[in-house]
Amino acid sequence: MSTFGERLRVAMDERGPLCAGIDPHASLLRAWGYDDDAAGLERFTMTAVEALAGTVAAVKPQSAFFERHGSRGIAVLEKAVSAARQLGALVILDVKRGDIGSTAQAYADAYLDQSSPLAVDAITASPFLGVGSLDPMLDTAERHGAGVFALALTSNPEGPQVQHARTVDGATVAGTVLDALRSRNSGADPLGSFGAVVGATIGRTEEDLAINGPLLVPGIGAQGGAPDDVRRIFGSAVRNVLPSSSREILAVGPDAAELRDAARRANETFLELVP
């Protein structure tokens, strides 16, 4: 069984580093000429998946935009995940789950156990109930060849209040998260399966981002992040950066050729950063 890190390294080397976000906002559905209902959600999502999943390393559906449509929305998500994987893209489900004990294990079973109908290649998770609270997810991911991206340095303005806070031993909360991921990835080759979410608009950071794992970087494009920001923030770790762009790509839809062309342009921009 291959690990998520192994599969991601191959995908990034073959297809480029871009992760295409699939965020079916109500406003985007309307902009594409679709109703804001489950049928419109399905048309939007499958158009995006069929246009993008055959060309990018990974796609990242935002779970909340499917959950808002209830059980029919979750059914669309299941269909999209299956289709994206069949087209060769890795699927990172943006759920930002965080809990403890048996509830954390239930989330892990839902998304990371590959026998689940909602199984994906990796999820995003929140470590802010304590990094150890992620152990059920990390352990389950390891058993099933999946991955986890823990929030570390996010670009929302509220983030630093928690992430830059110092623990009793003087380390920042973000640094503690990064240290835990680095430990989990120790010895992995060519790339660990446990990554960090680091925003493209955080500015400079003193944290060590070399965790021998992938770095999921939202905030590219419409949110203001640019290639120069990525180069400055990540330095020698830039080869492991998975830049995520959603609105800038989806804004050109629903024409499939235009969606693919937007993704190709974004990918080429970031390929120039890879040594």
Q: Provide the annotated active-site residues.
A: 96
Strand ranges in 75-225 using DSSP code E only, listed in sequence order:
90-97, 122-125, 147-153, 194-198, 215-217
User: Which DSSP category does 91 fall into?
Assistant: E
Cβ(259)–Cβ(249) below 8 Å: yes
- By residue count, the chain amounts to 275
Nearest CA-CA partner of 48 in 75, 71, 80:
80
Residues near 49 by beta carbon (within 8 Å), at least 6 away in sequence? 22, 59, 80, 83, 84, 87
Nearest CA-CA partner of 216 in 185, 191, 237, 195:
195
Cβ(196)–Cβ(215) below 8 Å: yes
Residues 173 and 98: their CA atoms lie apart, in Å, by 15
3-state DSSP percent of the chain in helix, strand and coil, to 5: 50, 15, 35
User: Which DSSP category does 36 fall into?
Assistant: S
User: Which DSSP category does 231 fall into?
Assistant: H
Q: What is the token pair recorded at 237?
A: 């770790």
User: Hey, which residues does 151 pair with through a beta bridge?
Assistant: 197
Cβ(151)–Cβ(125) below 8 Å: yes
Whether a cis peptide bond, with omega within 30° of 0, leads into 190 is yes
Rg (CA), the chain: 18
